[in-house]
Amino acid sequence: MSYARAHPLWLAFVLHRVSGLALALFLPLHFWVLSLALTRPERLDQFLGFTEQPVVKLAEFGLIFLLAVHMFGGLRLMAMEWLPWSAPQKTLAAGAVGVAVLISGTFFLQVV
Amino acid sequence: MLDLRLYMLQRITALIMAPLTLGHIAVMIYAVQGGLTAAEILGRTQGSAFWFLFYGSFVLAVSVHAAIGLRVILHEMAGLKGRSLSVVSWGIAAVLLAMGTQALVAVTWPGGAS
Amino acid sequence: MEPVTSQESALDGQGGTLEVSVWRGTSQGGGYQRFEVPALENQTILDVVSWIQQYVDATLTYRFACRVGMCGSCAMMVNGQPRWTCRTHVKKVLKAGKVQIGPLRNLPVIKDLAADMDPFFDKWVAAGGAHAPSATRDDPIPPVDPEDAIRVEASAGIECINCSICYAACDTVAGNPDYLGPAALQRAWTLLNDAKHDARDQILDAVSGAGGCHNCHSMGSCTTFCPNDLDPMSAIAGLKRETTRAFFRKGRR
């Protein structure tokens, strides 16, 4: 990948790949923490207390942003592939990021 | 490396997850108000057939979807191919499915933790 | 008489000079070699390469034919971007008096600026790009309506000059050498929509394999860099749509 070839749709691709990779790496951790409810409930509460820290809140905001941006980016891809319209690609890519910011922002406002 | 079959599997799991993801985000926004406790989460989800089906299909879809996505990245950026690529990607799917099922049971099975 | 502004005067050092680095070598190895080339008011990258070959180093290897953007043989990497060099003005791409010229990306290098186009054309055929006529010369010629929606899809891709710029621009090709690439897939889409082509199912099979259209990530570098303003990304999306449709049809059977 080279900066020389960077353009809006290419950046949308990079965002989709980076968010997808990050979510895939987060997933095992997420599953492990939840399964504590079964094995060691007191550890789960300990962990949930840890999530009250501002830094963790910020990381949660990041995660939800990644989730939203990956979902809307993916919907954009499927719309482009399967529906017979394709011209306003850049607008859609930008819109996907916008909605993702909106949703994660809502979450952020709720938690602080 | 991605043939029609894997492509369809990737798109179908994506379509299944789109509404689930929106639901998941909505639940999170609602749940985190006033802080999180294990009792609060589990009180809502344990023994609920709805949440079992909701998160059960989520776990199944995301295991397949993430494995195929990682398969593409492993091929394009790490040069893995052929049989080893297939073994690793389906291995990832199996691990995610196992961990996800454990989490699913912990959170939604009646009387799982308490 | 007008003052002489030809190459001769520039040769005398009257005009400025360009700092040009040109790739020398093969796929096995090589490096960029620096040349000073007289700057002219009007010159293309191909002019610069030709000047070096004619006046400095006769062993510089490159490829061109028509010089007017029709044959598709002179594409190279210019400052890291794939371009048709005969239609690329130096002034447009010059960065602080410097320009870097290399062989097309994603292809083996025969020597210097001449890339080996074999993989590109092999994939063209592998994607089902050879025409299979639906009628013989004894049959009446079927009428083709240029306004027909399907024909419009086919016509959108027929101006491809096989320059391989899209192939060089594509990062999916770079990471996945088996991927057929934008040009071959656009050709497949063109034939799929051609009323006079007889092998529709073969095309759908050919683009559904391990290196097929489903590897495309729609990053759109093909469409961004195509010198003829074609849109291979949308053509590949069309193939995904048709193969998906065929997938569900087969499922019902």
Distance from the Cα of B90 to chain C's closest Cα (Å) equals 17
Distance from the Cα of A94 to chain B's closest Cα (Å) equals 19
pLDDT at A75: 87
Q: Which CATH superfamily is domain C118-252 in?
A: Alpha-helical ferredoxin (1.10.1060.10)
Among positive and negative, which fits the CA dihedral C187, C191, C194, C200? negative
Chain-chain contact of A45 with B38 (C-beta, under 8 angstroms): yes
* Whether residue A79 has pLDDT greater than 80: yes
- DSSP alpha helix (H) spans, C103-181: 118-126, 149-156, 165-169, 171-175
A13 touches chain C (CB under 8 A): yes
Give ∠ CA C46-C83-C179 in degrees, rounded to 5.
135
- Phi/psi at C95 (5° precision): -120, 110
Of B3, B8, B76, the CB nearest to C212: B3
A10 to chain C: nearest residue by CA?
C219
- Amino acid type, A71: M
More reliable by pLDDT, A19 or B39: A19
Distance from the Cα of B12 to chain A's closest Cα (Å) equals 10
Q: Which residues pair with C23 in a beta bridge?
A: C32
Rg (CA), chain A: 17
Of A20, A27, A37, the CB nearest to B112: A37
Of C80, C237, C244, the CB nearest to A86: C237
CA pair distance A46, A44, nearest whole angstrom: 5
CA pair distance A70, B14, nearest whole angstrom: 10
Q: What is the pLDDT of residues C187-202, one digit of tens each?
A: 999 999 998 999 899 9
CA pair distance B90, B97, nearest whole angstrom: 10
Chain-chain contact of C220 with A77 (C-beta, under 8 angstroms): no
* Whether residue A102 has pLDDT greater than 70: yes
Are C103 and C24 within 8 A, CB to CB?
no
CA distances from B43 to A30, A40, A52, A94 (A): 19, 16, 20, 39
> In which residue are the tokens 């997933």 written?
A27
Q: Give the pLDDT band of residue C55 (cuts 50, 70, 90).
A: very high
Helix (H) or strand (E) holding C101: strand C98-102
Are B18 and A75 within 8 A, CB to CB?
yes
Of B3, B4, B77, the CB nearest to C175: B77
C78 to chain A: nearest residue by CA?
A4
CA pair distance B93, B99, nearest whole angstrom: 10
pLDDT at C9: 43
Mean of the per-residue pLDDT values of chain A: 82
Contacts of A40 in chain B (CB under 8 A): none
- For chain C, list the strands marked E by DSSP: 17-26, 29-38, 75-78, 81-84, 98-102, 109-111, 114-115
Q: What is the pLDDT of residues C6-20, one digit of tens each?
A: 444 444 445 689 999
CA pair distance B78, B84, nearest whole angstrom: 12
> In which residue are the tokens 């590949």 written?
C236
Q: Give the pLDDT band of residue C53 (cuts 50, 70, 90).
A: very high
Of A18-32, A93-107, C66-80, the least confident: A93-107
**ipTM over cut 0.85:** yes
Among positive and negative, which fits the CA dihedral C46, C49, C54, C58? negative
Helix (H) or strand (E) holding C97: none
Q: Which CATH architecture has domain B4-108?
A: Up-down Bundle (1.20)
Q: Which CATH architecture has domain C7-115?
A: Roll (3.10)
Distance from the Cα of A68 to chain C's closest Cα (Å) equals 19
The full set of domain ranges for chain C reads 7-115, 118-252
Structure tokens at C75: 């594409």
Contacts of B8 in chain C (CB under 8 A): 244, 247
pLDDT at C5: 43
Mean of the per-residue pLDDT values of chain C: 92
pLDDT at A89: 63
Q: What is the pLDDT of residues C26-42, one digit of tens each?
A: 989 999 999 999 999 99
Mean of the per-residue pLDDT values of chain B: 91
Q: How far is CA A74 from the centre of its chain?
A: 11
Question: Over pLDDT 90: what percentage of chain A?
Answer: 24
CA dihedral (C60, C64, C65, C69) in degrees, to 10, reads -150
Q: Give the pLDDT band of residue C227 (cuts 50, 70, 90).
A: very high
pLDDT at C141: 85
Q: What is the pLDDT of residues B97-111, one digit of tens each?
A: 999 999 999 989 886
Are A104 and A61 within 8 A, CB to CB?
yes
Q: Give residue A95's region: left, alpha or beta (phi > 0; psi -120 to 50).
A: alpha
Contacts of B75 in chain C (CB under 8 A): 175-176
B73 touches chain A (CB under 8 A): yes
CA distances from C132 to A99, B85, C192, C194 (A): 47, 36, 11, 10
Contacts of B3 in chain C (CB under 8 A): 208-210, 212, 214
Of A62-66, B86-90, C172-176, C189-193, the least confident: A62-66
Contacts of B15 in chain A (CB under 8 A): 78
B24 touches chain C (CB under 8 A): no
Q: Give the pLDDT band of residue A86 (cuts 50, 70, 90).
A: low
Chain-chain contact of C247 with B77 (C-beta, under 8 angstroms): no
A82 touches chain C (CB under 8 A): yes
Of A1, A4, A12, the CB nearest to C81: A4
Structure tokens at C181: 């690439």
Average pLDDT value for residue range C97-111: 96
Contacts of C241 in chain A (CB under 8 A): 81-82, 84
Write the CB contacts of C26 (distance below 8 Å, at least 6 apart in sequence): C109, C110, C111
Contacts of B4 in chain A (CB under 8 A): none
pLDDT at A59: 87
pLDDT at B39: 82
Contacts of A75 in chain B (CB under 8 A): 18
Distance from the Cα of B112 to chain A's closest Cα (Å) equals 6
Question: Over pLDDT 90: what percentage of chain C?
Answer: 84
CA distances from C186 to C72, C124, C159, C189 (A): 16, 9, 11, 5
